[in-house]
Structure 1
Amino acid sequence: MIESARSIVAVESRPRAPRRPRRRTGLTVGRVFGVPLHLNLSMLLLTLLVTVTYAEFARERLGLSPLGGYLIGLGFVVSLLGSVLLHELGHALTARRYGIGVRGITLELLGGYTEMDRDAPNPRVELLVALAGPAVSALLGGIAVAATLAIPDHTLAHQLALQLALSNVIVAVFNMLPGLPLDGGRALRAVLWRLTRDRHRATEVAGWVGRAVAVGTAGLVVLLTVQRVLVPLALPLMLLVAVTLWRGAGQSIRYARISRRVPLVDLGRLARPVFAVPTGTPLAEAQRRHAAQGPPGSAVLVVDGAGRPVALVDPAAADAVPVDRRPWLGVDAVARPLAALPTLPLGLDGERLMAAVQAHPGARYVVTAGEDVVGVLHIADLAQVLEPTRKMNR
């Protein structure tokens, strides 16, 4: 479902499958080859950390002034982010080449990710999209290695070329580790998908391998820090990379299990029935009628004088009204207009239902058949079908 290494030379990349829209916490800075580019606010922490760390290193190696060291550190951050951006463009442009829409590229604390409109249609496209990013990083690393060998030692240009070579090579190698959410995990999933003809099983297996990679990464980072190969300042950030890998692998496993159950979704069976009351009915009377005559679990629908549905009672708002006020408060006061609620046509299958819910997140959905309201879908009921072993708040 979803997938960057780091110290001062490590960055992660994770192409993401489509998911529920979310409010961004960063800035949209423009477009690159038509792909929207976003900067997450966590980039400020990365910029500060890498600038300070590399500035100290550059001053010691090159005898620069404090200001010169910080300027060089900042320049290295810009170069590093440029490398990450090119890595993500490899994913994005390859995906677009095969008809997969790209919503945008986001650069954040742990590198970057490419958000796509949908999954790859087959294992071959999945493999090509997954390998495109590491291929770009490997190419950049090769160019930087050649530049490092050609530039005299103990110079500023040599140090910058060396760090860019190391960062791009590490990004390419680290991302090719065979576990989700890394690019190598997506490549592994593509191979398993081709062999088993079961994308969901392939995703779940690659996710468990990704968890093993996360544990191995954490152990290796601690070992290298104890042996003073990594500076202590890099330890928290590298452990954060390992935690992010673990969480991403878990999300991939969960995504596979949910996706496997999507064909079981039947909107007609999931939708709760409705019980109609006329507009202006006192809340207490509406609740009395509903309790006496309404089907179990049904929602209270408010209809106008012609019998047309106009609103849906909000159970939480109704329960919040003191009992002694309910005879004097109209049911309309605790109802939401139907126009303000997302609607779902009754004939949707599981795939289209999931797409509609992701596009319009909500707690309840009005289910319609033509102009008639035939039921209400509670998102908790849908979640229970998709994840029957998970506890839900109803």
Structure 2
Amino acid sequence: MNGSYRLGKFADIDVYVHWTFLLLLAWVGGSAIWGGAPIVAAIANIALVICVFGCVLAHEYGHALAARMYGIPTHDITLLPIGGVARLREIPERPREELVVAIAGPAVNVVIAAILAVVLAVLGSTLVPASVIAGTAGVVPFLQSLMMINVMLVAFNLIPAFPMDGGRMLRALLAMKLNRIRATDIAATIGQTLAFGLGFLGLFGNPFLILIAVFVFFGARAEAQHVRSTTLVRDLPVRAAMIAHMQTTHGDDHLMYLRDLLLDGSQQDFPVLDEHDRPIGLIYRNDIVAGLQRGMQHASVHTMMRPVDEVSTGPSDSLRSAMVRLQDNDVPALLVVNGDRLVGLLTRENIAELLIFRETDPEFVPPVTYRHEYVAH
């Protein structure tokens, strides 16, 4: 995520914190001082926020480690002022697995709250000497606050507002009886309805609720669209959406040549071939334009291209997996390579067109034959 700083790697998962988290700490400490509280109280407030986000991080690790049990890795975890985000490679499609992954996060907060409750009970019992209790006078309220915040985190995350944990639990339960698309649509609709409610409550002096409402509303819509698209292509290979007729370039061509290709047609990204017409890479429109803007009209294409092993897929590979690669790498197209032969180009536009046809006819499979149908100069 842009604007995030890496804290380290724990359990083979990179952990990041967004820069706006520092603003939260400054606001918490600053508001206490401006309100007339001593510096010690401001430091205690900051420490409480840090501990809360430690609990949030543990919550996200609950999701990540539960997903790992089902063979799903986590790209990274990012801490934001409104909570944490664990970027799983994918959400489990089996309802029971998704339910376990969704429950695992709040379950961690339940355990933390239970441990804190035990500690507080011990500190409040007659088993602890009075001198020790006197020495922990400032610690007890701190632990009580941390315990109650964990209880609130559990309650809040159980709200069935998709894509929050409660919404994912709801989707998983619905998917045990309905198909995944229908279950997602229902959970997303409920989530967006609740988002309106949260946003309305936020208008009465709690901007934090408005932020959460925006996150839930747009997150629910994005998740519903993602599930619909990936489900519609789950049984298709890459060759079902690729284009086999395309313009290509060679590694020793100049960017000037690609400028002319961009102006002459609708193709935006170009496979790069060697002298034997074997694919060696792919150059994207953004890279072409950036090079031209820097006055690199005579630069060789191979100096600007992405290597073939980074941007290629096979014609028989899963189209859904290829879509995930396009999204994760934030690129508009992938080469389709069979052995050392270029057989096609997979673009976001062609996938979008295929999805339109599959929406109206879920059984539609385009007839695909591929040969040396690309146009090389």
Q: Same fold (TM over 0.5)?
A: yes
Q: Percent identity over the alignment?
A: 25
CA distance in structure 2 between the partners assigned to 1:114 and 1:190 by the alignment: 18
Q: Cα deviation per residue 1:65-92 (whole Å; 9 max; x = unaligned)?
A: 6211212112211221222122223222
Q: Which moved more, 1:145-154 or 1:45-54?
A: 145-154
Q: Which moved more, 1:299-308 or 1:71-80?
A: 299-308
Of the candidates 60, 64, 78, which is equivalent to residue 106 of structure 1?
Answer: 78
CA distance in structure 2 between the partners assigned to 1:268 and 1:247 by the alignment: 32
Are 1:157 and 2:139 matched, yes or no?
yes
Match of 1:392 in 2: none
Mapping 1:8-87, distance limit 5 Å: 23-53=1-31, 66-87=38-59
Shift of residue 192 of structure 1? 0.8
Structure 1 residues 255 and 67: alpha-carbon distance in aligned structure 2, compared to 1, 3 A threshold: same
SS in 1 for 2:331: coil
Of the candidates 224, 228, 246, which is equivalent to residue 217 of structure 2?
Answer: 246
CA distance in structure 2 between the partners assigned to 1:209 and 1:186 by the alignment: 11
Q: Which moved more, 1:171-180 or 1:95-104?
A: 95-104
Letter in 1 for 2:84: G
**How many residues are paired up?**
337
Of the candidates 341, 358, 370, which is equivalent to residue 372 of structure 1?
Answer: 341
CA distance in structure 1 between the partners assigned to 2:255 and 2:90 by the alignment: 48
Match of 2:319 in 1: 350
Kindly indicate whether the alpha-carbon contact (under 8 Å) linking 1:261 and 1:385 is maintained by their aligned counterparts in 2.
Answer: no
RMSD of the alignment, in Å?
4.2
SS in 2 for 1:115: strand
Letter in 1 for 2:181: H
Mapping 1:150-299, distance limit 5 Å: 156-196=138-178, 198-223=179-204, 225=205, 235-263=206-234, 267-268=238-239, 270-275=242-247
CA distance in structure 2 between the partners assigned to 1:106 and 1:337 by the alignment: 31
Q: Cα deviation per residue 1:198-231 (whole Å; 9 max; x = unaligned)?
A: 22322222111111221122223345x4xxxxxx
Shift of residue 177 of structure 1? 0.6
Shift of residue 54 of structure 1? 5.5
Kindly indicate whether the alpha-carbon contact (under 8 Å) linking 2:272 and 2:302 is maintained by their aligned counterparts in 1.
Answer: no
Of the candidates 46, 60, 66, which is equivalent to residue 88 of structure 1?
Answer: 60
CA distance in structure 2 between the partners assigned to 1:357 and 1:193 by the alignment: 27
Listed as ranges, the gaps of 5+ residues in structure 1 are 1-22, 60-64, 226-234, 322-328, 390-394
CA distance in structure 1 between the partners assigned to 2:357 and 2:208 by the alignment: 36
Match of 1:117 in 2: 89
Q: Which structure exhibits the higher relative contact order, with contacts defined as CA atoms closer than 8 Å and separated by 6 or more residues?
A: 1
Letter in 1 for 2:113: G
Shift of residue 175 of structure 1? 0.4
Structure 1 residues 387 and 164: alpha-carbon distance in aligned structure 2, compared to 1, 3 A threshold: farther
Shift of residue 119 of structure 1? 2.2
Q: Cα deviation per residue 1:33-55 (whole Å; 9 max; x = unaligned)?
A: 44432222121122123334466
CA distance in structure 2 between the partners assigned to 1:112 and 1:300 by the alignment: 38
Structure 1 residues 111 and 387: alpha-carbon distance in aligned structure 2, compared to 1, 3 A threshold: farther
SS in 1 for 2:177: helix
CA distance in structure 1 between the partners assigned to 2:268 and 2:177 by the alignment: 46
Listed as ranges, the gaps of 5+ residues in structure 2 are 125-132, 359-377
Kindly indicate whether the alpha-carbon contact (under 8 Å) linking 2:271 and 2:335 is maintained by their aligned counterparts in 1.
Answer: no
Letter in 2 for 1:47: L
TM-score, length-normalised on structure 2?
Answer: 0.72
Shift of residue 115 of structure 1? 2.1
CA distance in structure 1 between the partners assigned to 2:168 and 2:137 by the alignment: 39
CA distance in structure 2 between the partners assigned to 1:302 and 1:145 by the alignment: 63
Q: Cα deviation per residue 1:163-201 (whole Å; 9 max; x = unaligned)?
A: 2132111110010011211111111111011112x2232
